[in-house]
Structure formats: structure tokens, C-alpha cells
Amino acid sequence: MLQSNSSWTAAECGSIKWRRGYRWQHTSYARLCDMWAVLAPLMALLLVGAPSVSASGNVPVVGWLGLSSPEQEAGAWDAFRQGLTGLGHEEGRTLVIEHRWARGDNARFPALARDLLSRRPAVIFSPCGLALRAIRDVSTSVPVVAVCADWNNFLGEVATLNRPGGQTTGFTFLAPESAGKRLEILKELQPKLSRVAVLHSGQEDWPNYWQVMERVAPTLGLRLSKLPVKGREDLEGAIASAVRQRAEALVVLPDPITWGAAERIAALAIKHRLPTAFDIRGFVTSGGLFSYGPVLTDLYREVGARYVDKILKGATAGDLPVQQPTRFKLVVNLRTARAIGLSIPRALLARTDEVLE
């Protein structure tokens, strides 16, 4: 409508201006034309809307590459955005967040990284490992704040924790001692426990994690067996294999595959009456038995958001130390315990930070 009227007015102005016998009307129309010339652009802005801030190029773009989905990572996603808000940022005014989600499929990272980098982000918040590799295959210069289970998964981009160097920093969420602590909790739950299967992605490397577990396991009388999977389609067969090997409990390492299939893993473990141990609370809300690990929302809000803010203000990623967790939390799902016929000792419940009924 607005464009049609604007074209009609321009034509009428030209026609009426030179038409004989319309001197009085010409004066009136001329005034209307002058008014329209001023008002039309303003009305167009009001009706069509101002250009988007991301298109203007004046507002920095922050990239977010997620392991699974916004629903499954809601706590971390919300904490990250709340952290930026607490630092004075407003989406659409001081920054734009472009988010992409792998939904538990490692194979999606290269395409997601290319798409994300086409938006010319000032900084990207991402998992390390395969996701970081996908980013670096496209750009070696974009700053990355990475989330790592084990700092060795920074792909050699972090020289030392205190002085990373380069364009990558972030935080780790698997303190080595927590890996051994989860084995201790499993033994407390099942004093006669002797065999534990460890489910993980065959594409991820966990040297510090394995080193601690393999040192602690013999002191608890435990034997460990590895269950590497390449995709969700391998989960059922892997857990069935653990049962055939007489595994009596299951430790699950957090990676894109397991994180994206948390509910499926929990359901399979309950089916086989296997107690499950995790690092992250989200696995327990999806049906896992217990988690012992860092409070991830703290790390996303207090480290992730703060480091993104610093980089937007001119800091170099390599000058920001890689942070490690300092606060840990034990979460127990009593519904799952009842489903597998397991009684949680009173002493353990007394130490539990959160109980899901």
C-alpha cells in the first residue's frame, strides 16, 4: 500500500505540475507533494521497520555451538545469557547471539561451524574436541571460548592452563578427582560391585579421566571395561554387551553422542537394572541414577559469559586462563533407584545436594 501510494504521488505530481487549467489545484497538489516527499520515507521506516542490528554490522555477533538441543541444554543456555545480561549486555542492542545445535550428532559440526562463521562472529562459545576442530578447519583466527571435559581436548591450542596463548580459552568441567569420586559412590551404593562398564564416544579422547579411573578402580576392587560408540544407533548394542560381560553398573562420559541421547541411555539402563553414574545433572533429570560433578550453570554464567564479554571489549583469548571447577554437586534420582530396585544408603542421602523424587 505504501509503495503504491508513493509511486502514484510521484506520477501525479509530475503530471499535475504541467497540466493546463489546474493552476489552483497545482498549488494545492504541489504542497501535498512537498509534504509527501518528507513524510513518505518516515512512514516507510515505521511500517517496514528498521534494519536488523545483525544486518547493520555495528553490533557484534556472538556464536554459540551447542552439543545437543536448546531444550536439553536449557540450564547452561539460560545461565550463559543471564551472565551476559548481568554484565550489561542486551540481545539486539549490544550483541546478537547466533546459535546452532548439533543435537547429539558429531557429523553435523563441520556444516554448523561453516554456517556460524559465515555470520562473521566476534567470538564463538563452543565445545572443544570435534566441535573446535570443525571451527578451526574454517578459521584459525576467530576467538573461541571452549567447554572441555579434559583440557587435553583443546587440540593443542592451549599451551598451559594459566597462559593458553593463541585464540582459544575456556573452562574444563571434569576435575580429575571427580572421576574417582563417582566410582567410590557406585561402590557405596553396591558394596559387592566388581565390574563397571564405561560408555563413551569412540571419537573423543579422555586421557586424564581414564588415568584417574584406572588408578582408583583397583583400590575399590573394580574392573573397568570400555564401551565406545560411534552413534546413537550403537547404544542399545553397547549396553547389551555390557550386560553380557556381567557389568553391574554403568559410567557415562559426557560427549555429543551421550548428551544427545541421555533419555535413551537412562531407559536402557533401567531396562537392564543398571545403576548409572554421570558428571552432569541433566543426565539425572533425564532418568539417570546420580551425578557428581561441577555446577555447570556457574561455569557458563561466571566464566563463559564473562570471557565472551572480555573478548568483545578487546581482550585476547590466549591471555585468559583456562578455568577449572571449584564447586561440585551430588544429585540422586530416587525414582530411578526405585525402578531398578536399589536402596540408597542413608549416609549417602545425607551428603546429597539434591534429591529428585
215 within 8 A of 177, measured Cβ to Cβ:
no
Asked if the domains at 54-174+296-319 and 176-295+328-356 fall in one CATH topology, the answer is yes
pLDDT, mean of residues 154-176: 90
Q: What is the largest CA-CA distance in the chain?
A: 108
C-alpha cell at 270: 533401567
pLDDT, mean of residues 170-199: 92
Per-residue pLDDT band for 54 (boundaries 50, 70, 90) equals very low
Between 278 and 209, the more confident residue is: 278
Task: Return the percentage of the chain with pLDDT > 70, whole number.
Answer: 83
Q: Quick one: pLDDT at residue 211?
A: 87
Query: Please, what CATH class does the domain formed by 54-174+296-319 belong to?
Result: alpha beta
Is it the case that residue 10 has pLDDT exceeding 80? no
C-alpha cell at 143: 576467538
Q: Quick one: pLDDT at residue 194?
A: 98
Q: Quick one: pLDDT at residue 35?
A: 52
330 within 8 A of 185, measured Cβ to Cβ:
yes
Per-chain mean pLDDT for the chain: 84
Q: Quick one: pLDDT at residue 313?
A: 97
Residue ranges of alpha helices (H) inside the chain are 2-18, 23-48, 53-56, 74-86, 109-117, 130-138, 176-189, 207-216, 235-244, 256-260, 262-271, 281-285, 296-299, 305-312, 334-339, 346-351
Is it the case that residue 3 has pLDDT exceeding 80? no
What ranges do the domains of the chain cover? Answer: 2-50, 54-174+296-319, 176-295+328-356
CA 73 – CA 104 distance, rounded (Å)? 11
Per DSSP bridges, beta strands 123-127 and 328-333 are: unpaired
Burial 107-123 (b: 16+ CB within 10 A, else e): ebbbebbeebbeeebbb
pLDDT digits (tens, 9 = 90+) for 232-246: 899 999 999 999 999
pLDDT, mean of residues 184-213: 88
CATH 3.40.630.30 fits 176-295+328-356, yes or no: no
pLDDT digits (tens, 9 = 90+) for 96-150: 999 999 987 889 999 999 999 999 999 999 999 889 999 999 999 999 999 987 7
298 within 8 A of 346, measured Cβ to Cβ:
no
pLDDT, mean of residues 335-342: 98
pLDDT, mean of residues 62-82: 92
